[in-house]
Structure 1
Amino acid sequence: MPAALIAPQDLHPALWLGHQLGRARGDGVASGFAELDAQLPGGGWPRRALTELLLPQPGIGEIRLLAPGLAAAQRDGRLVMLFDPPAQLSAWALAQLGLDVAQLLVVQTQPGSGGHDRLWAFEQALKSGHVGALLAWLPPRLRPERLRRLQLAAQAHDGAAFVMREAAAAERPSAAPLRLSLRAAGPDALALRVLKRRGPPREAPIVLALPPVLSEAAWARRRPERTERAQRVPSLPVATFIDLG
């Protein structure tokens, strides 16, 4: 009697058939967008791995894209850390996206270090195992070996870890198991192209409707109480990294 055949994915979670999505280590972190989760191995943002987001420029909707997953980590009582955002963040706007700014720590590393401090601090946070979710804006033209170190460190992090990079990085190799290219698809929409995933390629972009963002004038017309509510939102806690070496 012939031995029963064993599917590759049953031998090891890192194996999968070419027409299937790979299985992540544990369940993925729900992105908050069902159409996106359906295209991600594990049904959400991967744990113990880097997710690389490539942007033509900051501020095209990446925070609105990630907010549901970051908020989920906070609901579990875990800290969310942001490393070197390229612009000042609005605590009020983050609160409107469901984030608890009291559980959101922004780390500003020393300028002029070529990104060394940023990478070191981000790597240590990944290794710590005490953070719920991490998000870092990486320096441009990052060497592949530096990204491999971050991916190795991410294997100790039971949560989502995101790195933001320039769009031109799509032409260079990356150790990140999940790579997505982002572009604006309207004032409140984002188009995601899957560049790399554990599974079959996907040519068509995934277009997502984002939570709407209104201008200051529009908010003033629609919400007279906006200023009073904004005053009740605490400011973002900011930590400055100091190299004591």
Structure 2
Amino acid sequence: MMMQEEMRVVSQKSIARNIFEIVLKGDITQEMKTPGQFVHIRIGNNSEFMLRRPISICSVDQTAHTLTCLYRAEGKGTTALSTLKTNDTVNILAPLGHGFPVDAAKNTALLIGGGIGVPPLYELSKQLNARGIKTIHVLGFQSKEDMFYLEQFSQLGETHVATVDGSFGTQGFVTDVIQALPKNYDTFYTCGPIVMIKAIESTLPETPGYVSLEERMGCGIGACYACVCKADNEEGYVKICTDGPVFEKGALNL
């Protein structure tokens, strides 16, 4: 059920180049049960930032009533968000979108993230582990300076890294790592840019999987049609914010 709440900032810190981790506290966390969903954040109360910013849910602690989000400060809105301090408040609309089906994996799941597509896979991995599913993580970044949450993922399962410039792990892309791995997984889950998702679907043609798209959004509730993507359905398109952001492999015309 979608709700709106003024959440309190518990902490915020920089964890990589232009990447911030913000922890928020509020009762709305009790509705955040499916990994892969996102929150829509209103930054400030003036007209400078009229549109909310969609940010994926990285982790939820329902006992502590806290939500952790990781985001890249790259525009005026997210840069302003990065200046919030402990006990500041931020208006959150959540949870939004359809997330990853955790019950799709049978024994072992391959989780593949690229850049800022990595965060939603963390809550997914936690929930898969809680169900007794083994997780293998492949994380892709531009450079060592852009990496984050390696320790956290490593605590949940086997973790591999690819960097484009070769400054850490395998030089190249996540597909280079995947091709070198034994195919002992029954399902894959991925989040990242479309070019990466297309490459993964080509690399894993026989493996069932689920993809989560990174798209710029306007309203976040399906009214503005700013995040439309072509799809193989009767309408010929889907709205990433409400029909997704998670889709079954092959459902979209990428």
- Normalised by the size of structure 2, how large is the TM-score? 0.35
Larger radius of gyration: 1
Of Structure 1 and Structure 2, the greater helix share is in 1
- Normalised by the size of structure 1, how large is the TM-score? 0.35
Of Structure 1 and Structure 2, the greater strand share is in 2
Q: Which has the higher contact order (CA 8 A, sep 6+)?
A: 1
